[in-house]
Every structure is written in C-alpha cells, then in structure tokens.
Chain A
Amino acid sequence: MTSSAPTRSRAARRVRDAVAGYLFVGPFLLAYVAFLLWPFARGVWISLHDWNLLAVAINPDAKTFVGLDNYVRMLWGDGLVWSLDHQWGVRLLGLALVAGALWAWRRGAIGRGTALAAAAAGLLVFGFALGLHPGEGGRWGDRRFWPIVGNTLTFVALTVPAVAAMGLALAIGLNRDDRRSAVLRTFFFLSQVLSVTVVTLIWQLTLSPRQGLIAHAFRSLGLEPLAWVTSPDLAMPAIVIATVWWSLGFAMILFLAGLQEIPAERNEAARLDGAGPLQLLRHLTLPALSRTTTLVVVLQIILHFQVFGQSHLITRGGPNDATQVWVRYIYQTGFRNSELGDASALAIVLFAFMLVFALLQMRASRGEA
C-alpha cells in the first residue's frame, strides 16, 4: 500500500497530463487540420484533375483525373529547344548577380549556405532554364505562365533591394534615443499599417496623369505628366513605387532591431581608432548586420512573391499582362476561367518556389545565415 501509492499517483498523473494536453491542443489542432492541412492536401488532389468550378458545383462527378497533365502543360511545351544565346541580355545580368553573391560571400557579407544556394539557383535559372524556348513549330503548353513568372520575379527584384537598402539607411539614420528619431520612425512606419486597398486607392489617384499628385508636380515643373498605369514600361515601376512606399517600415524595424544588438562600445572604439562613418558602416555595421540583412531580404522575397492587390487594383494586370503576377493568375484561372485544376497546379508550384525561401528564412532566424 505504502509503496504502490506513489506509483499509482504517478500513473494517474500521466493519464491526467495526457488528457489535459490533448484538451489544450485540441481546439487549435482541429482548426489546423480542417482549415490548413486538409485544404492543402485537397489542393494537391484538385491539381491532378480537370476540374471546372461551375461544372463540379452542379455535378460533383464532372471532374476527370488527368494525373500530372496540368503541371506538364503549365511548365513545359512541344518542340522546345535550348540555345546558348536565347535571352542573352537577361541571362548575362543574372550570371553577374551570381558572381555578385559569391563575391559578397568572400567579403563575409552573407553566409556560405546562402551564397551557394543563391549561386546554384542562379546558374540553374540563368545558365540553363532561360535558354529554353520553342523551336520551329513548337510552342509552350501555357504561353502566359513563364512571362507571368518573369513579371513576378521582376517585381520582386525591383522591390526587395529598394526596400532593403532604404530600410537599412533609415534604420542607421534613426537609430537614436531622441524624440525626433522616434517621431520620424513613426512617420515612416505609418503607411505599413494601411490595408492594400487603401494603398491602391491612394496610389491609383496619386499616379493618375490627370488628377494625380505626381502629375501636379510634373506640370508645375513644366513637364508632361506620365501615364504610369497605362504605359507598358511604367506600369511595373508604378506598382513597385506603391509597394516600396507601403512596406519600407517593416524592413526598417527589423534593421533597427539588428542595430540594437551591436554593442555601443564597438562603435565607440572604432571611432576612437579614427574610422570615418563610411568605414564604420563597411567594416563594422554591415558585417554585424549580416544575419538581419539575410532575414530582411528573405522575408521580403516571401512577402512580395505573394503580391496580388497592387496588381489587381492599380493596373489590373495590364497593360497586356505587363503587370500580371502569379497570385493574380491563380485567382483569375480559378475564379474567372473556372479552371480549378489548373489554378491549383499553379498554387502548388508557387508553394514549391516559396518553400525554398521559407526554409532559408528558418536558417537565417536560427542564426546560420
């Protein structure tokens, strides 16, 4: 009796803990399975079908299993050939970026893993993939898909460096404990809390060639206002400008958090050794921020890869698909053309693209940048 009582109470406690554990985790787990895991699995399932939204809504059996056809049609085509000089301008530029990544690693600005991953991805994309194109009589299965991927990447490539560089500059400028810096930080961050539809409302009008604020400024300088949204060359810059304005604060906050981790004595010591502001930046601040920089860049890539509202509301994907982006293409394929199978395949490939960056983010936030 005396010896078995503690054992029994320990066993009882284990049972109580098991019950309590599942009761506590239960509500979340239910939502997690029902609204995230299950839909995700279902998305994969739908992507393997020819699945028309309206037809299946009327008759649940009106779908046909087509295996990987949706993926093949999206990603591939008939009679594709590879040549060394296809799109050579963009490819050379991309290879230059690969070289840049390797150089940044040698200089210690970014981690080895990140540099090698970036270089490998860059070589694959610019060295190989962009050389593919339909030969004579050949064609892509989905003529719009790759240009839309290109638009999305262009948007990311224009937005992320601008946001990161300006966010860093502002963070360095405003990393002080006085009232003025605090007020300025608030000003820069304020646009970040607005919804995408408020941002597009503001910028649609600001960019308008007739009523817009920018047009007013141009006219007062005696210049002809620009038709931002309707011009094939300016539509992408237009949504990039709106996005940089919107999301700068986020990068600034993360850089500020990174700067706070640099001990003040290190700055002081370097300054006493006669280092100028630029030397300080190059040899002390930037290396100390390398983890934060990786995190900001990766987070911004993930965030802006999902761009939708700016393209949907400011330019409506136009003119001529110039600002059509991946998520808007999913939305339109699914809800305008009712092709849920194709739309799901698009979504799964987008997920695969983003998974790479999500894993990079986890590495970066664990401190292995």
Chain B
Amino acid sequence: MAGGRGARRVWTLVLVLLALVWLIPIVWMASLALQPNDLLARTTSNVAWGLIPWPFTLDNLAFVLGSGLTPRWFLNSAIVAGGMTLAVLATASLAGYAFARIPFPGKRVLFPLVLAGLVIPEQAVFIPLYTQFAEWGWHNGYLALIAPRVAVPIGVFLMTQFFRGIPTYLDEAAALDGADRWVIFTRIMLPLARPAMTTLAILTFLYAWNDYLWPLVSASRPEMFTITLGLASLQSNFAQSEGLGRVMASGVLASLPVVLLFLLFQRHVVRGIAMGSGK
C-alpha cells in the first residue's frame, strides 16, 4: 500500500511539472510584453530566460492600447464577436424551438436537411463565399465577417436537442390558457433555456474572436482587421525583433478577453465541448 501511495505522489509531481511546462510559453509571452523593447532587441533571456519581467515596464501595453491600429482591431473583434453571438443565439433558439415543438408541414424534410450542413466545413465554401460577397460588395464590412457563421447549423442542433428535453406539459398548459407560440417561446422557453444559451453564446464568442481563415480572406483593409487577423499581420516583420515587446503586448491583449471568459465560465465551456461533439 505504501508503494501505491509513493507511486501516486510521483505521478502527481509529474502532472504538476507538466502543467508548469504547459504554462511556460504563455508566461513567457506575458513576461516579454512587460520588458523594454530596446532590451528585447538585444536579448530575450535577461532574467531566468526572460521568464521574469525585469526590468519591468508597461510601455508596450500602453503603446499598443494608445496608438496604431490595435484599438481599432479590438473594437472590430468586439463588434464581430458580439454581433455573431447575438445573431447565432436569436436564429438558433427560434429555429431550435420550432424544430423541437411546432408541428409544421415539411419539418421532417427540413430538419435532416439542416443537419446535413454539419458535414460542410468552412474550407469547402470560403472560395465561393468570397466571390459571392465580392459581387454583393460586402467585403471589408462587419456583415461579411458575421454572416457565414450564422449559417452553421451546430447551434440549431444544440438548441433543438435542448428544447426536446423540456417536458411538454409546460407549453401545453400555457397553450390551453390561450398563449400563442411567441408568448410561450419568450415567456416560458427562453428563461428555461438560459444555461444552454449561455454555453452556445460562449462557444460562439470564442470561435468568432479566434477565427482566422475567413477574416483573412474577407477583410483586406487593415482598418477592418479583427485582432486575431491584425496579430498575424504583425508577425510578418517580427523576425527583426523590432518592437518585439509591442507585438507580444498585442498578443497578450488579444488573449485577455478569451482567457477571462474561459476562467469565468469554465463550466460552460467544458460542457459545451462535450455537448457539441455529441456526447
């Protein structure tokens, strides 16, 4: 038994060490963002391989927040991620409720047709979407960045599953009292769906904030970049290490919202992943 406990202790130690190794690259990015630019031009390993930010400065963060396009990219990301989240929540909850509860003609054909869209990846449609939006003059606008994701049926799938799980007597009782579909949906169903919608909202926001391929294709004007895309454009000239601290500061700022969101809503993120992959 003592051997078992010893083995457990070694195993725990291995896990803790591994977790620290996993964190080190993130800590390093943050630490470099807090060191002076001219120092970084000479060395990235000033104290403890650069893992301890010394000499310490907030200049890089202040610079990135106060000048250049980074504040604009931040705003763009907030608009795109926020808009996409609202649009997905609205369309997915409406459609999910209808598919789960309202008997309408054609539903049996429509629902499988919608689910079939789950197998079409973004990579299979980004070329034709590009030409389509070019014809419509949508590129370099927020709508172009938001709309394609609203069409992805995973949200409808999750909401349909959720509404199917709610006992029918609730809406039947309301219907007997003369409430119409809209009242039942807004007064009874939506409040019950809050947990599922929070999960869907967080996953959509994370996706929107981090999306790279489609913004890269659609937004060509730097003023329309999202922070994720803008960060990629900064990386091209960073080999010379000019402004390394500033690039790292942009990386830190770009990560802050998603990291905070994850830490605050960890439970939802974890459950969303399990749900979204069909568990």
Q: Which residues of A are in contact with B by a Cβ distance under 8 Å?
A: 14, 16-18, 20-22, 24-25, 27-29, 31-32, 34-40, 42-43, 45-46, 53, 56-57, 170, 173-174, 180, 184, 186-191, 193-198, 200-206, 211-213, 216-217, 220, 245, 248, 250, 253-254, 257-258, 277, 292, 295, 299, 302, 306, 308-309, 313, 327, 330-331, 334-335, 340, 343-344, 347-348, 350-351, 354-355, 358-359, 361-362, 364-366
B-side interface mostly: helix
Which residues of chain B (111-155) have a CB below 8 Å from chain A? 114, 117-132, 134, 147-148, 150-153
Give the residues in chain A near B60, CB-CB below 8 Å: none
Question: Which of B64-72, B91-99, B193-201 lines the interface with chain A?
Answer: B91-99
Q: How far is the CB of A365 from chain B (nearest CB, A)?
A: 3
Give the residues in chain B near A202, CB-CB below 8 Å: 25-26, 28-29, 251
Alpha-carbon distance A135/B194, docked complex (angstroms): 63
Which residues of chain B (57-109) have a CB below 8 Å from chain A? 90-92, 94-95, 97-99, 102-105, 107
Identify 25 residue pairs between A and B in the complex whose beta-carbon atoms are under 8 Å apart, listed by A's number: A20-B102, A24-B181, A25-B98, A29-B114, A39-B125, A42-B131, A56-B131, A180-B12, A187-B20, A189-B266, A193-B269, A195-B254, A198-B255, A200-B232, A201-B29, A201-B248, A203-B25, A205-B44, A216-B50, A220-B49, A277-B4, A277-B7, A306-B123, A334-B127, A361-B277
Give the residues in chain A near B124, CB-CB below 8 Å: 40, 43, 347-348, 350-351, 354
Give the residues in chain B near A24, CB-CB below 8 Å: 94-95, 97-98, 102, 181, 185
Give the residues in chain A near B273, CB-CB below 8 Å: 250, 253-254
* Cross-chain contact B274 with A253 (CB below 8 angstroms): yes
Alpha-carbon distance A250/B26, docked complex (angstroms): 18
Shortest Cβ distance from B95 into A: residue: A28
Q: How far is the CB of B26 from chain A (nearest CB, A)?
A: 7
- 8 nearest A-B residue pairs (beta carbon): A21-B104, A365-B278, A24-B98, A195-B210, A35-B151, A28-B95, A351-B124, A28-B91
* Cross-chain contact A173 with B11 (CB below 8 angstroms): yes
Alpha-carbon distance A197/B248, docked complex (angstroms): 11
* Cross-chain contact B279 with A174 (CB below 8 angstroms): no
Interface mask (B191-217 → A, CB under 8 Å = 1, otherwise 0) = 000000000000000100111110011
* Cross-chain contact A196 with B107 (CB below 8 angstroms): no
* Cross-chain contact A25 with B15 (CB below 8 angstroms): no
Q: How far is the CB of A146 from chain B (nearest CB, A)?
A: 19
Q: Which of A35, A257, A335 has the most CB of B within 10 A?
A: A35
* Cross-chain contact A309 with B95 (CB below 8 angstroms): no
> Of A18, A32, A365, which one neighbours B279 at CB under 8 angstroms?
A365
Q: How far is the CB of A11 from chain B (nearest CB, A)?
A: 13
Q: How far is the CB of B187 from chain A (nearest CB, A)?
A: 15
* Cross-chain contact B147 with A18 (CB below 8 angstroms): no
* Cross-chain contact B28 with A213 (CB below 8 angstroms): yes
Q: How far is the CB of B89 from chain A (nearest CB, A)?
A: 11
Shortest Cβ distance from A367 into B: residue: B278
> Of A184, A198, A295, A351, which one neighbours B120 at CB under 8 angstroms?
A351
* Cross-chain contact A190 with B128 (CB below 8 angstroms): no
Give the residues in chain B near A32, CB-CB below 8 Å: 114, 117, 151, 153
Shortest Cβ distance from B217 into A: residue: A335
Known: A18-B105, A24-B102, A188-B22. A343 touches B127 (CB 8 A): yes
Known: A35-B129, A358-B119. A257 touches B279 (CB 8 A): yes
| Contact residues on B (Cβ < 8 Å of other chain), bracket | 35 or more
* Cross-chain contact B119 with A197 (CB below 8 angstroms): no
Known: A27-B91, A205-B44. A359 touches B28 (CB 8 A): no
B219 CB-CB contact with A under 8 Å: no
* Cross-chain contact B104 with A330 (CB below 8 angstroms): no
Q: Which of A20, A56, A330 has the most CB of B within 10 A?
A: A20
* Cross-chain contact B19 with A187 (CB below 8 angstroms): yes
Give the residues in chain A near B170, CB-CB below 8 Å: none
Q: How far is the CB of B5 from chain A (nearest CB, A)?
A: 12
Q: How far is the CB of B2 from chain A (nearest CB, A)?
A: 15
* Cross-chain contact A195 with B128 (CB below 8 angstroms): no
B262 CB-CB contact with A under 8 Å: yes
Q: How far is the CB of B105 from chain A (nearest CB, A)?
A: 6
Interface mask (B212-238 → A, CB under 8 Å = 1, otherwise 0) = 110011000000000011011001001
Q: How far is the CB of B186 from chain A (nearest CB, A)?
A: 12
Known: A36-B120, A213-B50, A253-B270. A173 touches B209 (CB 8 A): no
B179 CB-CB contact with A under 8 Å: no
Give the residues in chain A near B28, CB-CB below 8 Å: 202, 205-206, 213
Known: A254-B279, A358-B119. A211 touches B241 (CB 8 A): yes
Q: How far is the CB of B115 from chain A (nearest CB, A)?
A: 9
Known: A191-B26, A195-B254, A340-B127. A21 touches B19 (CB 8 A): no
